[in-house]
Amino acid sequence: MEKFVIQGGVPLKGKLKVRGAKNSALPLMCASILAEGKSHLLNVPHLMDIVTMQQVLEGLGVRVSRKDRTLEIDSTNLSGYQAPYELIKKMRASILVLGPLLARYGKAEICLPGGCCIGRRPVNLHLEGLRKLGARIKVKRGYIEAYTNGLKGNSVHFDLPSVGATENLMLSACLSEGETVIRNASLTPEVVDLARFLREMGAEIQGEGTSVIRISGVQRLRPARHSIIPDRITAGTLIMAIIASGGEATLEGIRPDHLGIIFTKLREIGTEIEVNG
């Protein structure tokens, strides 16, 4: 069995640049297939989930190449609507291909992602939202089969502010007919980043970062170039490790506005934090 052996008691010091957020990169990779052509995502971290999503897209006919921290995603030859079972089952975020495939093809078939069960780690919010837009969805023997003759905008109210369900509805609503209103939407920075990327692609979106997001469907989106936001979870974890070890360090490339409550509470207990830029 592999293991980490950590010798503690040493203050952490130095300088480190925080990587891009995996939880932003994954939905943006899925968003790229909404437009025909080459999109470029910058500041993409080197992680297995990113590799798995790349393989999912390649299984659908998309060409994906990486140079350093930049991904080029060319969906010109997107040719499939059946996402590879052996890849989808590995990662929960892979359900985010469902909305884009429905929007472009009018059909999609994927297995329940990441080994989840509808009752235990529910994907029902995703499916109920897509049904509100006119998708016909069946779940049988561990597979999701979805079809539509054309998605139409509607008002969708989530029982809880699910990040993934909010993202899937945003992805599908961009090419739907009419206006979609998502209520009790997730407020997270990753949802905001997705909205900004979709807007760069030509989508008409308002309200990201609030509980109500409005999307007016358009006929076509275009490829775009976008830099992924820094990973707030990584940044917060590193900050806590530095403090716990009694160290002093510099973290580069973070977004202070994504760490506001952490900074507030740490200053309350006497931690010295200096923000530049």
Q: Band the pLDDT of 116: cuts 50, 70, 90.
A: very low
Q: Where are the domains of the chain?
A: 22-227, 231-268
pLDDT of residue 183: 99
Distance CA 239, CA 245 (A): 10
8 Å CB contact between 129 and 154: no
CA distance from start to end of the chain = 44
SS3 letters across 135-174: CEEEEECCEEEEECCCCECCEEECCCCCHHHHHHHHHHHC
- Of the candidate CATH numbers 1.10.20.10, 3.40.1010.10, 3.40.1710.10, 3.65.10.10, the domain formed by 22-227 belongs to 3.65.10.10
pLDDT of residue 122: 67
**Which tens digits make up the pLDDT trace of 155-206?**
999 999 999 999 999 999 999 999 999 999 999 999 999 999 999 999 999 9
pLDDT of residue 114: 64
**Strand (E) or helix (H) holding 181:** strand 179-183
Residues in the chain: 277
Residue with tokens 């170039």: 225
**Which tens digits make up the pLDDT trace of 85-111?**
888 888 888 899 999 999 999 999 998
8 Å CB contact between 64 and 92: no
Q: Which of 30, 111, 116, 174 is catalytic?
A: 116
Least confident of 76-80, 114-118, 121-125, 156-160: 114-118
User: Looking at residues 29-56, what average pLDDT do you find?
Assistant: 97
Active site residue 116: yes
The pTM of the full predicted model, rounded to 2 decimals, is 0.94
